[in-house]
Amino acid sequence: MVLQLSIGARVRKSPFFDAARADGMAAASVYNHMYMPTSYGDPAAEYERVINGVAMWDVGVERQVALKGPDAVALARYLTPRNLDGLKIGQGKYVPICNYEGTVINDPVLLQITDDEVWLSIADSDISLWAGGIAGARGMDVRVYEPDVSPLAIQGPKATDVVADMFGGWIRELRYFGFAEAEIEGIPLVLARSGWSKQGGYELYLRDGQYGARLWQLVKQAGASYGIGPGAPNYIERVESGLISYGADTDDATTPYELGMDKFIDVDQEQDFVGKAALRALRDAGVKRRFMGLLIDGDPFPTTNEARWKLHQNGDYVGYASAAAYSPRVQSNIAVAMVSVAAIESGQPVDVACNWGDRTATIVPLPIA
């Protein structure tokens, strides 16, 4: 049964919300206290665009937490276990954030904007409170706040052409996670080679919310000849690609090692950071479960999952699948899952308690496609 999403003033609307709604937004959720479009009513077309064409996504929910002041970089370095030696303006970095117990509490992209200003482009948890509380308690000289910045993503193999038409060929030279200040019609932006898919693309970080509707129209016009259409971070594509969705894939004890983030965690650096001792112990102990892919047998799932599905092996609970869908590219039902190392190493299949009865699944590495 369909549930209606209540619309009120408590949950925020992105600067693109009205334009996206006018263009057919059919379903949405809430992310960082803001409405997040999830579908425009034609899942097959939305998937096709990001895989073979180009899609435009209102991802204003990727809120920025700005650290600004003399201690901005020092605070950033204290917040993440990633070694930020060599951090530079214009090159973003994926920076997992853990609490003092070594549990993942967000996985933002960090953008150093100026010498004394850093943005964290966050997943769905209030990192402004985490960072602000720590900065205040430590008496650091830095202001933590949410600036008026709202990303619009252009994703898919034709995204580069669309963005080059809008901003010039220089955008082709940006490295992955590279970014630069830019503008169009005087609208101030940060333009980054990034986005929550593995199909390539860019994100336009709108720096003045009053121009949301105009920027939406400019992207729509520039993309028209490439067949651009609206979409949202794609449920199927993210499972195929094994992208982590904080909150869906994680629980209140998930460590970065379980998520395969090893290369982003440096417990041997001199820099002190939150959770250093705990993470060192976790590294030494080794993991008991890992974030993996599943190939699930049987008829194609008619919809995506509405909840986590439990996994069993020989009757024992061995983990959960957090996102599942039928993949046209893999031509199989697939899922991402947190699975016990014992179950993985057994080489045996697992039983999946899905909405349409029990299914059997093979554990596979990520990405799946």
**Candidate residues 4, 286, 347, 357; the one interacting with its own copies per rule CB under 8 A:** 4
Cβ neighbours around 288 below 10 Å, total:
11
Please state, in angstroms and rounded to a whole number, the distance separating the CA atoms of residues 224 and 54. Answer: 10
- Comparing CB distances to its own copies, the nearer of 132 and 200 is 132
Q: Which of 248, 295, 330, 353 lies at the binding interface for its own copies (CB under 8 A)?
A: 248
**Which window, 133-141, 210-218, 219-227, 257-265, contacts its own copies (CB under 8 A)?**
133-141
**Site size for its own copies, by CB under 8 A?**
53
Cα distances (Å, whole numbers) of residue 197 to 67, 202, 203, 259, 320: 26, 10, 11, 17, 23
Least distance between its own copies and beta carbon 2 (Å): 5
Which of 55, 76, 274, 343 touches its own copies by CB under 8 A?
A: 274
Of positions 52, 85, 100, 224, contacts its own copies by CB under 8 A: 100
Is there binding between residue 3 and its own copies (CB under 8 A)? Answer: yes
Q: What are phi and psi of 174, to 5 degrees?
A: -65, 135
Among 207-215, 220-228, 244-252, 290-298, the segment contacting its own copies (CB under 8 A):
244-252
Nearer to its own copies, 272 or 345 (CB): 272
Separation CA 316–CA 294 (nearest Å) = 17
Give the count of beta carbons closer than 10 Å to the beta carbon of residue 306: 7
Supply angle C-alpha 284, 349, 320, rounded to 5: 60
Amino acid of residue 304: T
Tell me, letter by letter, the H, E, C secondary structure of 39-73.
ECCCHHHHHHHHHHCCEEEECCCCCEEEEECCCHH
Q: Judged by CB under 8 A, which stretch of 7-15, 197-205, 212-220, 260-268 contacts its own copies?
A: 7-15
Does residue number 65 form part of the binding site for its own copies (CB under 8 A)? no
Binding test (CB under 8 A) with its own copies, winner from 16, 130, 211, 273:
130
The pair phi, psi for residue 134, each rounded to 5°, is: -70, -45
CB of 213 to its own copies, least distance (A): 14
Single residue of 26, 281, 285, 342 touching its own copies by CB under 8 A: 26
Task: Judge contact between 369 and 240, C-beta under 8 A.
Answer: yes
Cβ atoms of 164 and 219 within 8 Å: the answer is no
Distance CA 41, CA 309 (A): 25
Cβ 238 to its own copies shortest distance, Å: 11
Length of the chain: 369
- Nearest residue (CB) to its own copies, 4 versus 114: 4
Q: Quick one: CA dihedral 273, 278, 283, 288, positive or negative?
A: negative
Q: Which stretch binds its own copies (CB under 8 A): 85-93, 132-140, 196-204, 290-298?
A: 132-140
With CB under 8 A as the contact rule, the residue among 52, 141, 145, 170 that binds its own copies is: 145
Measure the CA–CA gap between 150 and 108, rounded to whole angstroms: 15
Site for its own copies (CB under 8 A): which residue of 80, 121, 197, 305?
A: 305
Nearest distance from C-beta of residue 249 to its own copies, angstroms? 8
Residues 174 to 233: which contact its own copies by CB under 8 A?
Answer: none
Question: Is residue 125 near its own copies by the rule CB under 8 A?
Answer: yes
Q: Specify burial of residue 116 (Cβ count, 10 A radius: 0-12, 13-18, 19+).
A: middle
By beta-carbon proximity to its own copies, the closer residue of 6 and 114 is: 6
Q: Contact at 8 Å (CB) between 119 and 294?
A: no
Question: Of 59, 105, 159, 338, which one interacts with its own copies (CB under 8 A)?
Answer: 105
Question: Does position 44 bind its own copies by CB under 8 A?
Answer: no
Where along the sequence are the contacts to its own copies (CB under 8 A)? 1-11, 13, 21, 25-30, 33, 38-39, 99-100, 105, 124-127, 129-134, 136-138, 145-146, 235, 245, 247-248, 252, 274, 304-308, 322-323
